[in-house]
Chains A and B, each alone.
Chain A
Amino acid sequence: MKTLAFPAMAPPLDGTEATATALEAARSGDLAAFDLLMRRHERMVLATALRLLGKMEDAQDASQEVFLRLYRNLGKVQACRNLAGWLYRVTVNVCRDIRKRRPEETFVDAAEELVSPGADPQEAATRNERRRVLELSLRLLSGRERAALVLRDLEGLSTGEVAEILGTSQATVRSRVFQARIKIKGFVEGCFRRRV
């Protein structure tokens, strides 16, 4: 199996001795240790899956599948520093499989849904609307653009790390990120222009 090195993107606890100990214990069948590993990476996996799939129900299914694969491949995760990269890559793959099985509903002028009568730009800053803007704008993107943008701009990985995870070149990642950012900007500006 290809070993990935993601020193910059590893969560704070990922490189700690505690994570290494938990990995070792989980390999020997300790479910409590595996539960600890899940707790340390659950936000990363679930949030990424949620952005890639758009629905919490699907994201939970994907996260479960990711952690089950982690358990079955504990021996292949060579070091705890690889764990985050391995989980990102599996998350992207699992989400891609789920999207193939469950095609997303057709996008129908989602910006209209955001505009409520009487809403002003101040209210647009509320949390729920921000979340809605995020969900709807990500729907505009193709699967590849979405994966690149989520990993690069939302999860904060470097272009090189995203390229490793997606199995492509950095130039391709930059191209996808560029396209995605242009689309996102157009959507967000169009959305708020309707309110004014």
Chain B
Amino acid sequence: MNCKDWEERIALFAGGDLSPALEAEVKQHLAECAGCRDNARGIQDSLKLLLSAHEEPIAAGHYTAVRAGVLARLERERRPWRRWMWAPALALGLAVAGVFVAVRPARMPEITVAAPRYPEPPAVAVGTPEPVAPGERNRPRGAGASGTAPPVAASPRVPAAAQGHGPETSALVEPLVVKLITNDPDVVIYWIADRKGEAR
């Protein structure tokens, strides 16, 4: 039996794990073998070093932290209702919101939209048409009495309303047009309102 075969027994001997009979055998071998003696002493010294480090006291704060953590969790588990404290608060909030919706005014507040300001329309010189002779009524349009077109004052193009066809001729009022684009590309909603806010 060479020293390699003794290795396991020596390691166990160093920790006191052998039966008395095996321990006696190992002691006999150690008395004869210096190498194995060193090996056994090395193991014992290593274990002694580790044990001395392991036995150093742990700071009290670490224990306190553990205990505090455990007790805090146990407290939480013993009072599970605390976890659901938000539920009544949420129910109360929903109830208040429901009451508010139920009693709120039926008509939405009126929203006034300021009409856009347009520049004043240019002054238009509207000429009085010449009296047409009865005989000339069948004359082709565009031809004057002498066969030429009558002199017409050049007038800028004006909206129909400004020419006296609309209800108001003195102020230029354009409708308010709101274009609402929906998700459906085929559906576009136009909201057209006149100055008084009446939808057309």
Residues of A at under 8 Å CB distance from B? 29, 31, 34-35, 38-39, 42-43, 46-47, 50-51, 56, 60, 63-64, 67-68, 71, 127, 130-131, 133-134, 137, 152-154, 159, 174, 177-178, 181-182, 184-185, 187-189
Complex: A121 Cα to B62 Cα, angstroms: 31
Residues of B at under 8 Å CB distance from A? 7-8, 11-12, 14-15, 17, 39, 42-43, 45-47, 49-54, 56, 58, 62-63, 65-67, 69-71, 73-75, 78
Known: A174-B12, A177-B15, A178-B12. A130 touches B66 (CB 8 A): no
Contact B66 A46 (CB under 8 A): yes
Known: A42-B67, A131-B53. A184 touches B46 (CB 8 A): yes
CB-defined A-B contacts under 8 Å, sample of 15 = A34-B74, A35-B71, A38-B67, A39-B67, A42-B63, A42-B66, A43-B63, A47-B58, A134-B50, A137-B46, A152-B17, A174-B12, A181-B15, A181-B46, A182-B11
Give the residues in chain A near B75, CB-CB below 8 Å: 31
Give the residues in chain B near A152, CB-CB below 8 Å: 15, 17
Known: A60-B62, A130-B53, A152-B15. A188 touches B45 (CB 8 A): yes
Contact B15 A153 (CB under 8 A): yes
Known: A133-B49, A133-B53, A178-B12. A38 touches B70 (CB 8 A): yes
Contact B46 A188 (CB under 8 A): yes
Give the residues in chain B near A188, CB-CB below 8 Å: 42, 45-46, 49-50
Give the residues in chain A near B54, CB-CB below 8 Å: 47, 51, 134, 154
Shortest CB-to-CB span from B63 to chain A, Å, is 5
Contact A60 B66 (CB under 8 A): yes
Q: Which of A50, A177, A181, A187 contacts B58 (CB 8 A)?
A: A50
Contact B71 A31 (CB under 8 A): yes
Q: A182-B7, A189-B46 are in contact. List 9 more A-B contacts (CB 8 A).
A: A39-B67, A42-B66, A64-B66, A68-B73, A127-B56, A130-B49, A177-B15, A184-B47, A188-B45
Contact A178 B66 (CB under 8 A): no
In the complex formed, the residue of A with least CB distance to B51 is: A154
Contact A184 B50 (CB under 8 A): yes
Give the residues in chain B near A29, CB-CB below 8 Å: 78
Complex: A113 Cα to B176 Cα, angstroms: 81
Shortest CB-to-CB span from A62 to chain B, Å, is 9
**Interface of A, helix, strand, loop or mixed by DSSP:** helix
Give the residues in chain B near A185, CB-CB below 8 Å: 39, 42-43, 46
Contact B71 A137 (CB under 8 A): no
Shortest CB-to-CB span from B153 to chain A, Å, is 96
Complex: A105 Cα to B52 Cα, angstroms: 25
Complex: A73 Cα to B62 Cα, angstroms: 24
Q: Which of A64, A130, A137, A177 contacts B12 (CB 8 A)?
A: A177
Complex: A185 Cα to B39 Cα, angstroms: 9
Complex: A177 Cα to B67 Cα, angstroms: 32
Contact B67 A35 (CB under 8 A): yes
In the complex formed, the residue of B with least CB distance to A49 is: B66
Give the residues in chain A near B15, CB-CB below 8 Å: 152-153, 177, 181
Complex: A133 Cα to B50 Cα, angstroms: 7
In the complex formed, the residue of A with least CB distance to B9 is: A178
Shortest CB-to-CB span from B79 to chain A, Å, is 12
Shortest CB-to-CB span from A61 to chain B, Å, is 9
Contact B62 A56 (CB under 8 A): yes
In the complex formed, the residue of B with least CB distance to A135 is: B53
